[in-house]
A = this chain, B = another copy of it.
Amino acid sequence: MERQNPYNHGLDKNAANYVPLSPLSFIERTAVVHPQLTSVIYHQRRFTWAQTYQRCKQLASALSQKGIGEGDTVSTMLPNIPAMYEAHFGVPMTGAVLNTLNIRLNPESLAFMLDHSQCKAILVDPEFSGVIQQALALMTGPKPYVIDVDDAHFTQGGRIGDIEYEAFIAQGDPNFDWQLPSDEWNAIALGYTSGTTGNPKGVVTHHRGAYLAALSNALAAQMPAHPTYLWTLPLFHCNGWCFPWVMALLAGTNVCLRRVDVKVILDQIREHRIEYYCGAPIVHTMIADAPDAWREGIDHTVHGLIAGAPPPASVFKRMEEIGFDLTHVYGLTETYGPAVGCTKQPEWASLSIDERVEKNSRQGVRYPLEQDVAVLDPITMEPVPWDGETIGEIMFRGNIVMKGYLKNPAATAEAFAGGWFHSGDLGVVDPDGYIKIRDRAKDVIISGGENIASLEIEEALLLHPAVAAVAVVALKDEKWGEVPAAFVELRPGQHADEKQLHQHCEQHLARYKLPKKYIFGELTRTSTGKVQKFALREQINAN
Protein backbone atom coordinates (compact mmCIF):
# COMPACT_ATOMS: atom_id res chain seq x y z
CA MET A 1 0.00 0.00 0.00
CA GLU A 2 1.37 3.39 -0.95
CA ARG A 3 1.88 5.66 2.01
CA GLN A 4 -0.14 8.84 1.89
CA ASN A 5 1.85 12.08 2.11
CA PRO A 6 -0.22 14.67 4.03
CA TYR A 7 2.09 17.43 2.79
CA ASN A 8 0.98 16.90 -0.82
CA HIS A 9 -2.76 17.15 -0.27
CA GLY A 10 -4.69 20.39 -0.68
CA LEU A 11 -1.43 22.34 -0.76
CA ASP A 12 -1.14 23.08 -4.46
CA LYS A 13 0.30 26.04 -6.31
CA ASN A 14 -2.03 28.97 -6.77
CA ALA A 15 -1.89 32.64 -7.78
CA ALA A 16 -1.01 33.70 -4.23
CA ASN A 17 1.94 31.37 -3.63
CA TYR A 18 3.55 30.67 -7.01
CA VAL A 19 5.02 32.98 -9.64
CA PRO A 20 7.41 32.02 -12.47
CA LEU A 21 10.96 33.15 -11.72
CA SER A 22 12.00 35.88 -14.14
CA PRO A 23 14.48 38.76 -13.95
CA LEU A 24 11.67 40.97 -15.25
CA SER A 25 10.35 40.96 -11.68
CA PHE A 26 13.50 42.82 -10.62
CA ILE A 27 12.84 45.93 -12.70
CA GLU A 28 9.18 45.99 -11.77
CA ARG A 29 10.06 46.01 -8.06
CA THR A 30 12.88 48.54 -8.40
CA ALA A 31 10.67 50.92 -10.39
CA VAL A 32 8.20 50.87 -7.48
CA VAL A 33 10.69 50.90 -4.59
CA HIS A 34 13.39 53.19 -6.02
CA PRO A 35 11.63 55.16 -8.81
CA GLN A 36 13.85 58.24 -8.48
CA LEU A 37 17.28 56.59 -8.36
CA THR A 38 19.41 56.82 -11.50
CA SER A 39 19.17 53.73 -13.70
CA VAL A 40 21.15 54.56 -16.83
CA ILE A 41 23.69 57.24 -17.78
CA TYR A 42 25.01 57.80 -21.29
CA HIS A 43 26.92 61.06 -21.71
CA GLN A 44 24.36 63.77 -20.92
CA ARG A 45 21.39 61.41 -20.97
CA ARG A 46 20.20 60.23 -17.57
CA PHE A 47 17.26 58.07 -16.73
CA THR A 48 15.61 57.12 -13.45
CA TRP A 49 14.33 53.61 -12.75
CA ALA A 50 10.77 54.88 -13.20
CA GLN A 51 11.73 56.18 -16.64
CA THR A 52 13.69 53.13 -17.74
CA TYR A 53 10.86 50.84 -16.65
CA GLN A 54 8.37 52.98 -18.56
CA ARG A 55 10.53 52.96 -21.69
CA CYS A 56 10.86 49.17 -21.46
CA LYS A 57 7.09 48.85 -21.21
CA GLN A 58 6.72 51.12 -24.22
CA LEU A 59 9.19 49.03 -26.19
CA ALA A 60 7.28 45.87 -25.22
CA SER A 61 3.98 47.46 -26.14
CA ALA A 62 5.21 48.69 -29.53
CA LEU A 63 6.68 45.25 -30.33
CA SER A 64 3.43 43.58 -29.27
CA GLN A 65 1.51 45.88 -31.60
CA LYS A 66 3.70 44.47 -34.39
CA GLY A 67 2.45 41.00 -33.48
CA ILE A 68 5.62 39.95 -31.71
CA GLY A 69 5.22 37.56 -28.78
CA GLU A 70 6.08 34.13 -27.37
CA GLY A 71 8.25 32.07 -29.69
CA ASP A 72 9.46 35.07 -31.71
CA THR A 73 12.99 36.41 -31.90
CA VAL A 74 14.01 40.07 -31.66
CA SER A 75 17.65 40.82 -32.50
CA THR A 76 19.93 43.71 -31.67
CA MET A 77 23.03 45.01 -33.44
CA LEU A 78 23.95 47.56 -30.82
CA PRO A 79 26.88 48.72 -28.70
CA ASN A 80 26.41 49.38 -24.96
CA ILE A 81 23.88 52.22 -25.25
CA PRO A 82 20.60 52.78 -23.35
CA ALA A 83 18.43 51.09 -26.02
CA MET A 84 20.54 47.94 -25.63
CA TYR A 85 19.92 47.97 -21.89
CA GLU A 86 16.19 48.52 -22.41
CA ALA A 87 15.99 45.63 -24.89
CA HIS A 88 16.98 43.23 -22.09
CA PHE A 89 13.63 43.97 -20.45
CA GLY A 90 11.35 45.24 -23.22
CA VAL A 91 11.86 42.25 -25.51
CA PRO A 92 11.22 39.47 -22.93
CA MET A 93 8.24 41.46 -21.58
CA THR A 94 6.48 40.55 -24.84
CA GLY A 95 7.29 36.87 -24.35
CA ALA A 96 9.78 37.06 -27.24
CA VAL A 97 13.43 36.02 -27.12
CA LEU A 98 16.29 38.52 -27.19
CA ASN A 99 19.09 37.73 -29.61
CA THR A 100 22.03 40.09 -29.14
CA LEU A 101 24.22 39.90 -32.23
CA ASN A 102 27.98 40.26 -31.97
CA ILE A 103 28.70 43.65 -33.58
CA ARG A 104 32.01 42.41 -35.04
CA LEU A 105 30.46 39.71 -37.23
CA ASN A 106 30.43 39.68 -41.02
CA PRO A 107 27.26 39.83 -43.16
CA GLU A 108 27.34 36.10 -43.95
CA SER A 109 27.33 35.05 -40.29
CA LEU A 110 24.68 37.62 -39.45
CA ALA A 111 22.44 36.48 -42.30
CA PHE A 112 22.72 32.89 -41.07
CA MET A 113 21.69 33.95 -37.55
CA LEU A 114 18.77 36.11 -38.70
CA ASP A 115 17.46 33.25 -40.82
CA HIS A 116 18.13 30.55 -38.24
CA SER A 117 16.39 32.45 -35.45
CA GLN A 118 13.52 33.54 -37.75
CA CYS A 119 14.16 37.06 -36.53
CA LYS A 120 10.99 39.21 -36.54
CA ALA A 121 12.50 42.58 -35.64
CA ILE A 122 15.97 44.02 -35.27
CA LEU A 123 17.37 47.12 -33.55
CA VAL A 124 20.33 48.55 -35.49
CA ASP A 125 22.95 51.13 -34.56
CA PRO A 126 24.06 53.46 -37.40
CA GLU A 127 27.64 52.17 -37.05
CA PHE A 128 26.42 48.75 -38.19
CA SER A 129 23.69 49.71 -40.64
CA GLY A 130 25.95 48.88 -43.58
CA VAL A 131 26.76 45.35 -42.48
CA ILE A 132 23.15 44.68 -41.50
CA GLN A 133 21.95 45.93 -44.88
CA GLN A 134 24.24 43.40 -46.52
CA ALA A 135 23.09 40.65 -44.12
CA LEU A 136 19.44 41.41 -44.87
CA ALA A 137 20.19 41.10 -48.60
CA LEU A 138 21.81 37.69 -47.99
CA MET A 139 18.87 36.30 -45.99
CA THR A 140 16.85 33.51 -47.54
CA GLY A 141 13.85 33.70 -45.19
CA PRO A 142 11.38 36.51 -44.38
CA LYS A 143 13.12 39.73 -43.41
CA PRO A 144 12.68 41.35 -39.99
CA TYR A 145 11.15 44.72 -39.20
CA VAL A 146 14.13 47.08 -38.88
CA ILE A 147 14.36 49.76 -36.18
CA ASP A 148 17.20 52.30 -36.41
CA VAL A 149 18.61 53.46 -33.08
CA ASP A 150 20.07 56.94 -33.61
CA ASP A 151 22.95 58.06 -31.43
CA ALA A 152 24.05 61.68 -31.10
CA HIS A 153 27.52 60.33 -30.33
CA PHE A 154 27.88 58.50 -33.61
CA THR A 155 26.99 60.74 -36.50
CA GLN A 156 28.36 58.62 -39.34
CA GLY A 157 26.43 55.72 -40.85
CA GLY A 158 22.83 55.99 -41.83
CA ARG A 159 19.32 54.77 -41.32
CA ILE A 160 18.24 51.63 -43.13
CA GLY A 161 15.09 50.80 -41.23
CA ASP A 162 11.37 51.29 -41.08
CA ILE A 163 11.37 53.63 -38.12
CA GLU A 164 13.68 55.27 -35.56
CA TYR A 165 13.75 53.81 -32.01
CA GLU A 166 12.38 56.84 -30.15
CA ALA A 167 9.48 57.14 -32.61
CA PHE A 168 8.92 53.41 -32.30
CA ILE A 169 8.68 53.29 -28.52
CA ALA A 170 6.59 56.49 -28.55
CA GLN A 171 3.88 54.35 -30.17
CA GLY A 172 3.94 52.06 -27.13
CA ASP A 173 1.69 52.28 -24.10
CA PRO A 174 3.65 53.48 -21.03
CA ASN A 175 1.24 51.47 -18.88
CA PHE A 176 1.46 48.34 -21.02
CA ASP A 177 0.17 45.38 -19.02
CA TRP A 178 3.03 42.99 -19.79
CA GLN A 179 2.98 39.49 -18.38
CA LEU A 180 5.56 37.29 -16.76
CA PRO A 181 6.42 34.23 -18.89
CA SER A 182 3.74 31.54 -18.80
CA ASP A 183 6.50 29.18 -17.61
CA GLU A 184 9.85 30.04 -16.02
CA TRP A 185 11.43 27.52 -18.41
CA ASN A 186 10.48 29.74 -21.37
CA ALA A 187 13.37 31.12 -23.36
CA ILE A 188 14.59 34.64 -22.53
CA ALA A 189 17.65 34.93 -24.79
CA LEU A 190 19.48 33.41 -27.72
CA GLY A 191 23.23 33.85 -28.12
CA TYR A 192 25.29 32.42 -30.93
CA THR A 193 28.66 30.97 -30.04
CA SER A 194 31.56 31.60 -32.36
CA GLY A 195 32.15 28.00 -33.34
CA THR A 196 35.51 27.10 -34.79
CA THR A 197 34.02 25.03 -37.57
CA GLY A 198 30.62 24.87 -39.23
CA ASN A 199 27.68 27.08 -38.41
CA PRO A 200 27.45 28.86 -35.06
CA LYS A 201 25.29 27.22 -32.41
CA GLY A 202 22.38 29.16 -30.87
CA VAL A 203 22.49 28.93 -27.08
CA VAL A 204 18.99 29.23 -25.61
CA THR A 205 18.69 30.45 -22.01
CA HIS A 206 15.54 30.72 -19.91
CA HIS A 207 13.89 33.05 -17.40
CA ARG A 208 14.56 30.80 -14.38
CA GLY A 209 18.26 30.57 -15.22
CA ALA A 210 18.63 34.30 -15.88
CA TYR A 211 16.96 35.06 -12.54
CA LEU A 212 19.28 32.72 -10.65
CA ALA A 213 22.38 33.79 -12.59
CA ALA A 214 21.71 37.42 -11.68
CA LEU A 215 21.38 36.50 -8.00
CA SER A 216 24.49 34.35 -8.20
CA ASN A 217 26.50 37.23 -9.69
CA ALA A 218 25.28 39.67 -7.04
CA LEU A 219 26.33 37.25 -4.29
CA ALA A 220 29.66 36.31 -5.87
CA ALA A 221 30.64 39.96 -6.32
CA GLN A 222 29.24 40.82 -2.85
CA MET A 223 27.58 43.85 -4.40
CA PRO A 224 25.77 46.20 -2.01
CA ALA A 225 22.56 48.05 -2.81
CA HIS A 226 22.79 50.73 -5.53
CA PRO A 227 26.16 49.87 -7.06
CA THR A 228 27.58 51.95 -9.90
CA TYR A 229 28.51 49.77 -12.84
CA LEU A 230 30.48 50.62 -15.98
CA TRP A 231 29.60 48.76 -19.16
CA THR A 232 33.09 47.80 -20.37
CA LEU A 233 31.83 44.28 -21.12
CA PRO A 234 29.83 44.05 -24.36
CA LEU A 235 26.14 43.61 -23.59
CA PHE A 236 25.93 41.37 -26.64
CA HIS A 237 28.28 38.91 -24.93
CA CYS A 238 26.15 36.41 -22.92
CA ASN A 239 23.76 39.28 -22.21
CA GLY A 240 26.56 41.10 -20.43
CA TRP A 241 26.94 38.07 -18.11
CA CYS A 242 23.38 38.77 -16.88
CA PHE A 243 24.47 42.06 -15.27
CA PRO A 244 21.60 44.04 -16.85
CA TRP A 245 19.37 42.02 -14.55
CA VAL A 246 21.78 42.26 -11.60
CA MET A 247 21.61 46.04 -11.82
CA ALA A 248 17.81 46.01 -11.88
CA LEU A 249 17.81 43.68 -8.86
CA LEU A 250 20.08 45.99 -6.86
CA ALA A 251 18.70 49.29 -8.16
CA GLY A 252 22.16 50.28 -9.32
CA THR A 253 23.35 52.75 -11.92
CA ASN A 254 24.44 51.57 -15.38
CA VAL A 255 27.00 53.79 -17.07
CA CYS A 256 26.96 53.10 -20.81
CA LEU A 257 30.06 53.01 -22.96
CA ARG A 258 29.96 52.95 -26.74
CA ARG A 259 33.48 51.58 -27.12
CA VAL A 260 36.39 50.50 -24.96
CA ASP A 261 38.90 53.35 -24.59
CA VAL A 262 41.03 53.25 -21.47
CA LYS A 263 41.18 57.04 -21.02
CA VAL A 264 37.39 57.26 -21.24
CA ILE A 265 37.01 54.28 -18.89
CA LEU A 266 39.18 55.91 -16.22
CA ASP A 267 37.39 59.25 -16.66
CA GLN A 268 34.03 57.54 -16.18
CA ILE A 269 35.28 55.66 -13.12
CA ARG A 270 36.34 58.97 -11.59
CA GLU A 271 33.28 61.00 -12.62
CA HIS A 272 30.61 58.47 -11.62
CA ARG A 273 32.55 56.82 -8.81
CA ILE A 274 32.23 53.48 -10.59
CA GLU A 275 32.49 50.54 -8.18
CA TYR A 276 32.17 47.57 -10.55
CA TYR A 277 33.04 46.59 -14.08
CA CYS A 278 33.62 43.36 -15.99
CA GLY A 279 35.77 42.49 -18.92
CA ALA A 280 38.23 40.34 -20.79
CA PRO A 281 41.88 40.49 -19.65
CA ILE A 282 42.69 43.05 -22.35
CA VAL A 283 40.44 45.64 -20.64
CA HIS A 284 42.15 45.09 -17.31
CA THR A 285 45.59 45.09 -18.90
CA MET A 286 44.85 48.45 -20.51
CA ILE A 287 43.86 49.85 -17.13
CA ALA A 288 46.94 48.35 -15.49
CA ASP A 289 49.21 49.79 -18.17
CA ALA A 290 47.62 53.25 -18.32
CA PRO A 291 49.72 56.25 -17.25
CA ASP A 292 49.39 56.96 -13.52
CA ALA A 293 48.14 60.47 -14.28
CA TRP A 294 45.01 59.06 -15.92
CA ARG A 295 44.03 57.38 -12.66
CA GLU A 296 44.50 60.51 -10.60
CA GLY A 297 41.53 61.38 -8.42
CA ILE A 298 40.25 57.81 -8.26
CA ASP A 299 40.39 57.31 -4.51
CA HIS A 300 37.83 54.56 -4.01
CA THR A 301 38.11 50.79 -4.47
CA VAL A 302 37.08 49.60 -7.90
CA HIS A 303 36.04 45.95 -8.25
CA GLY A 304 36.60 44.19 -11.53
CA LEU A 305 35.52 40.77 -12.74
CA ILE A 306 37.96 39.28 -15.19
CA ALA A 307 37.22 36.43 -17.60
CA GLY A 308 37.04 35.54 -21.25
CA ALA A 309 40.55 34.11 -21.58
CA PRO A 310 43.11 32.86 -19.06
CA PRO A 311 44.77 36.08 -17.80
CA PRO A 312 48.46 36.41 -17.00
CA ALA A 313 49.30 36.60 -13.31
CA SER A 314 51.08 39.90 -13.95
CA VAL A 315 47.71 41.60 -14.53
CA PHE A 316 46.46 40.52 -11.11
CA LYS A 317 49.65 41.74 -9.51
CA ARG A 318 49.63 45.11 -11.19
CA MET A 319 45.96 45.70 -10.44
CA GLU A 320 46.48 44.93 -6.76
CA GLU A 321 49.35 47.42 -6.76
CA ILE A 322 47.16 50.21 -8.13
CA GLY A 323 44.34 49.41 -5.71
CA PHE A 324 41.88 47.64 -8.01
CA ASP A 325 40.23 44.53 -6.59
CA LEU A 326 40.11 41.87 -9.32
CA THR A 327 38.18 38.64 -9.12
CA HIS A 328 38.74 35.92 -11.66
CA VAL A 329 35.62 34.23 -13.01
CA TYR A 330 34.99 31.66 -15.69
CA GLY A 331 32.05 30.45 -17.69
CA LEU A 332 30.58 30.08 -21.14
CA THR A 333 27.60 31.37 -23.07
CA GLU A 334 26.02 28.03 -22.17
CA THR A 335 26.32 28.88 -18.45
CA TYR A 336 24.97 32.44 -18.72
CA GLY A 337 28.51 33.78 -18.40
CA PRO A 338 30.43 33.20 -15.15
CA ALA A 339 29.53 30.00 -13.30
CA VAL A 340 32.89 29.51 -11.60
CA GLY A 341 34.69 32.17 -9.60
CA CYS A 342 37.93 32.37 -7.71
CA THR A 343 36.30 32.96 -4.32
CA LYS A 344 38.85 34.55 -2.02
CA GLN A 345 39.51 32.63 1.18
CA PRO A 346 39.89 34.87 4.25
CA GLU A 347 43.36 33.47 5.01
CA TRP A 348 44.75 34.56 1.63
CA ALA A 349 44.82 38.14 2.91
CA SER A 350 47.95 37.33 4.90
CA LEU A 351 49.88 35.78 2.00
CA SER A 352 52.60 37.57 0.05
CA ILE A 353 51.33 39.33 -3.05
CA ASP A 354 52.95 36.69 -5.30
CA GLU A 355 51.38 33.83 -3.38
CA ARG A 356 48.02 35.57 -3.39
CA VAL A 357 48.20 36.29 -7.10
CA GLU A 358 48.89 32.62 -7.76
CA LYS A 359 45.75 31.70 -5.78
CA ASN A 360 43.66 34.45 -7.37
CA SER A 361 44.59 33.68 -10.94
CA ARG A 362 42.94 30.28 -10.89
CA GLN A 363 39.46 29.79 -12.31
CA GLY A 364 38.13 28.76 -8.92
CA VAL A 365 35.04 27.09 -7.51
CA ARG A 366 31.40 26.84 -8.45
CA TYR A 367 29.38 30.05 -8.28
CA PRO A 368 27.03 30.47 -5.30
CA LEU A 369 23.93 29.21 -7.12
CA GLU A 370 25.50 26.88 -9.69
CA GLN A 371 24.70 23.39 -8.51
CA ASP A 372 27.90 21.63 -9.41
CA VAL A 373 31.09 22.10 -11.39
CA ALA A 374 33.56 19.26 -11.69
CA VAL A 375 36.56 18.13 -13.66
CA LEU A 376 35.67 14.71 -15.01
CA ASP A 377 37.29 12.12 -17.18
CA PRO A 378 35.04 12.51 -20.24
CA ILE A 379 35.12 8.77 -20.94
CA THR A 380 34.42 7.34 -17.50
CA MET A 381 32.69 10.49 -16.16
CA GLU A 382 34.65 9.97 -12.93
CA PRO A 383 36.11 13.03 -11.15
CA VAL A 384 39.85 13.52 -11.45
CA PRO A 385 41.90 13.47 -8.22
CA TRP A 386 42.47 16.89 -6.61
CA ASP A 387 46.18 16.79 -7.30
CA GLY A 388 46.64 19.86 -9.49
CA GLU A 389 47.98 17.62 -12.25
CA THR A 390 45.44 15.16 -13.62
CA ILE A 391 43.68 16.75 -16.56
CA GLY A 392 39.97 16.25 -17.18
CA GLU A 393 37.11 18.14 -18.82
CA ILE A 394 35.38 20.89 -16.90
CA MET A 395 31.66 20.13 -16.65
CA PHE A 396 28.65 21.95 -15.22
CA ARG A 397 25.32 20.85 -13.81
CA GLY A 398 22.45 22.92 -12.46
CA ASN A 399 19.88 25.60 -13.07
CA ILE A 400 22.40 28.01 -14.58
CA VAL A 401 22.97 25.87 -17.66
CA MET A 402 21.24 26.59 -21.01
CA LYS A 403 18.08 24.89 -22.29
CA GLY A 404 20.11 23.64 -25.26
CA TYR A 405 21.06 24.68 -28.79
CA LEU A 406 18.27 26.03 -31.00
CA LYS A 407 17.16 23.56 -33.70
CA ASN A 408 20.21 21.43 -33.04
CA PRO A 409 19.20 18.29 -31.14
CA ALA A 410 22.42 16.48 -32.01
CA ALA A 411 24.67 19.19 -30.54
CA THR A 412 22.35 19.50 -27.55
CA ALA A 413 22.48 15.79 -26.82
CA GLU A 414 26.25 15.78 -27.21
CA ALA A 415 26.67 18.75 -24.86
CA PHE A 416 24.52 17.12 -22.16
CA ALA A 417 25.84 13.57 -22.46
CA GLY A 418 25.95 11.75 -19.13
CA GLY A 419 23.89 14.37 -17.29
CA TRP A 420 26.56 17.08 -17.34
CA PHE A 421 27.20 20.03 -19.65
CA HIS A 422 30.55 19.44 -21.34
CA SER A 423 32.46 22.72 -21.58
CA GLY A 424 35.18 21.51 -23.92
CA ASP A 425 37.73 23.13 -21.59
CA LEU A 426 40.38 21.00 -19.95
CA GLY A 427 41.40 21.59 -16.38
CA VAL A 428 42.90 20.26 -13.19
CA VAL A 429 41.76 20.56 -9.58
CA ASP A 430 44.13 21.83 -6.94
CA PRO A 431 44.17 20.11 -3.53
CA ASP A 432 41.93 22.90 -2.15
CA GLY A 433 39.25 22.16 -4.77
CA TYR A 434 40.03 25.16 -7.00
CA ILE A 435 39.92 24.51 -10.73
CA LYS A 436 42.64 25.66 -13.10
CA ILE A 437 42.04 25.62 -16.85
CA ARG A 438 44.72 23.75 -18.67
CA ASP A 439 43.43 24.16 -22.19
CA ARG A 440 40.62 23.91 -24.66
CA ALA A 441 40.31 20.23 -25.60
CA LYS A 442 41.04 21.11 -29.19
CA ASP A 443 44.10 23.21 -28.26
CA VAL A 444 46.05 20.36 -26.70
CA ILE A 445 49.30 19.62 -28.53
CA ILE A 446 50.06 15.94 -28.94
CA SER A 447 53.79 15.57 -29.39
CA GLY A 448 55.36 12.13 -29.57
CA GLY A 449 52.29 10.72 -27.87
CA GLU A 450 52.51 13.16 -24.96
CA ASN A 451 49.71 15.66 -24.26
CA ILE A 452 51.08 19.16 -23.87
CA ALA A 453 48.84 21.90 -22.50
CA SER A 454 49.49 25.01 -24.58
CA LEU A 455 48.53 27.10 -21.56
CA GLU A 456 51.46 25.85 -19.52
CA ILE A 457 53.86 27.07 -22.22
CA GLU A 458 51.99 30.36 -22.45
CA GLU A 459 52.24 30.89 -18.70
CA ALA A 460 55.97 30.26 -18.87
CA LEU A 461 56.43 32.78 -21.68
CA LEU A 462 54.32 35.39 -19.86
CA LEU A 463 56.86 35.32 -17.03
CA HIS A 464 59.33 37.00 -19.39
CA PRO A 465 59.20 40.79 -18.80
CA ALA A 466 59.13 41.66 -22.50
CA VAL A 467 56.16 39.45 -23.35
CA ALA A 468 52.74 41.14 -23.41
CA ALA A 469 50.65 38.29 -24.81
CA VAL A 470 51.20 34.89 -26.28
CA ALA A 471 49.39 32.06 -28.03
CA VAL A 472 50.86 28.60 -28.40
CA VAL A 473 49.47 26.22 -31.01
CA ALA A 474 50.31 22.87 -32.58
CA LEU A 475 52.62 22.90 -35.59
CA LYS A 476 52.53 19.74 -37.68
CA ASP A 477 55.79 17.87 -37.50
CA GLU A 478 56.87 14.81 -39.44
CA LYS A 479 58.78 13.30 -36.58
CA TRP A 480 56.69 14.18 -33.50
CA GLY A 481 53.24 14.53 -35.06
CA GLU A 482 52.86 17.98 -33.49
CA VAL A 483 55.22 20.40 -31.79
CA PRO A 484 54.49 23.68 -29.98
CA ALA A 485 54.78 26.99 -31.85
CA ALA A 486 54.52 30.33 -30.08
CA PHE A 487 52.93 33.54 -31.37
CA VAL A 488 54.40 36.32 -29.25
CA GLU A 489 53.30 39.93 -28.79
CA LEU A 490 55.96 42.09 -27.10
CA ARG A 491 55.38 45.00 -24.75
CA PRO A 492 55.81 48.42 -26.36
CA GLY A 493 59.48 49.48 -26.20
CA GLN A 494 60.64 46.02 -25.07
CA HIS A 495 62.69 43.56 -26.99
CA ALA A 496 63.24 39.80 -26.95
CA ASP A 497 64.38 37.46 -29.69
CA GLU A 498 63.84 33.77 -30.29
CA LYS A 499 67.07 32.76 -28.58
CA GLN A 500 66.30 34.74 -25.43
CA LEU A 501 62.83 33.30 -25.18
CA HIS A 502 64.13 29.80 -25.75
CA GLN A 503 66.62 30.20 -22.90
CA HIS A 504 63.86 31.61 -20.72
CA CYS A 505 61.59 28.64 -21.45
CA GLU A 506 64.33 26.14 -20.69
CA GLN A 507 64.22 27.36 -17.08
CA HIS A 508 60.51 26.68 -16.75
CA LEU A 509 59.53 23.82 -19.03
CA ALA A 510 60.39 20.20 -19.72
CA ARG A 511 62.42 19.83 -22.89
CA TYR A 512 59.64 18.24 -24.95
CA LYS A 513 57.38 21.19 -24.20
CA LEU A 514 59.74 23.86 -25.57
CA PRO A 515 58.35 25.79 -28.56
CA LYS A 516 60.08 24.85 -31.78
CA LYS A 517 59.12 28.07 -33.52
CA TYR A 518 58.45 31.70 -32.53
CA ILE A 519 56.38 34.20 -34.55
CA PHE A 520 56.51 37.81 -33.39
CA GLY A 521 53.76 40.36 -33.95
CA GLU A 522 50.39 41.61 -32.68
CA LEU A 523 47.86 38.87 -31.91
CA THR A 524 44.49 39.26 -33.58
CA ARG A 525 41.63 38.88 -31.15
CA THR A 526 37.88 38.34 -31.33
CA SER A 527 35.51 40.97 -30.01
CA THR A 528 35.46 39.15 -26.68
CA GLY A 529 39.22 39.40 -26.35
CA LYS A 530 39.93 35.81 -27.25
CA VAL A 531 42.77 34.82 -29.52
CA GLN A 532 41.42 32.45 -32.14
CA LYS A 533 43.92 29.65 -32.06
CA PHE A 534 42.33 27.75 -34.90
CA ALA A 535 43.17 30.69 -37.18
CA LEU A 536 46.77 30.73 -35.94
CA ARG A 537 46.99 26.98 -36.44
CA GLU A 538 45.76 27.32 -40.01
CA GLN A 539 48.19 30.15 -40.65
CA ILE A 540 51.26 28.38 -39.33
CA ASN A 541 50.50 25.02 -40.88
CA ALA A 542 49.76 26.60 -44.27
CA ASN A 543 53.21 28.19 -44.37
Contacts and interface: CB of A to CB of B under 8 A. Distances in A.
A165 B167 CA distance: 70
B16 A397 contact: yes
A37 B346 contact: yes
B14 A419 contact: yes
Given A11-B404, A371-B25, A71 B4 contact: yes
Nearest to A20: B399
Copies in the complex: 2
Given A6-B407, A10-B404, A366-B29, A16 B420 contact: yes
B11 A412 contact: yes
Interface string A368-394: 100100000000000000000000000
A368 B249 contact: yes
A433 B420 CA distance: 45
A121 interface: no
Given A14-B419, A433-B32, A19 B226 contact: no
Nearest to A18: B399
Contact of A409 (B10, B97, B407, B433): B10
Given A71-B8, A406-B6, A397 B34 contact: no
Given A14-B419, A16-B401, A7 B366 contact: no
A250 B224 CA distance: 14
Contacts of A433: 32-33
Given A5-B70, A8-B71, A15 B222 contact: no
A179 interface: no
Contact of A7 (B8, B215, B406, B409): B406
Contacts of A209: 17
A7 B222 contact: no
Interface in A4-47: 4-19, 21, 25, 29, 32-34, 37
Contacts of A398: 17, 19
B219 A222 contact: no
A218 interface: yes
A175 to B, nearest CB: 15
A277 interface: no
Interface string A226-257: 10000000000000000000000110000000
Contacts of A112: none
A16 B419 contact: yes
A235 to B, nearest CB: 21
B343 A33 contact: yes
Contacts of A421: 16-17
A6 B399 contact: no
Nearest to A367: B29
22 contacts: A3-B71, A6-B406, A7-B97, A7-B187, A7-B406, A8-B187, A10-B407, A11-B403, A12-B403, A14-B419, A15-B397, A15-B420, A17-B421, A18-B399, A19-B399, A32-B366, A33-B343, A33-B365, A34-B345, A215-B215, A219-B249, A222-B225
Given A17-B398, A21-B399, 18 more contacts: A3-B71, A4-B71, A7-B187, A7-B190, A10-B404, A10-B407, A11-B204, A11-B403, A12-B403, A14-B416, A17-B421, A25-B371, A32-B365, A32-B366, A33-B433, A37-B346, A215-B219, A222-B225
Interface of A: 3-19, 21, 25, 29, 32-34, 37, 70-71, 97, 118, 185-187, 190, 204, 209, 215, 218-219, 222, 224-226, 249-250, 343, 345-346, 365-366, 368, 371, 396-399, 401-404, 406-407, 409, 412, 415-416, 419-421, 433
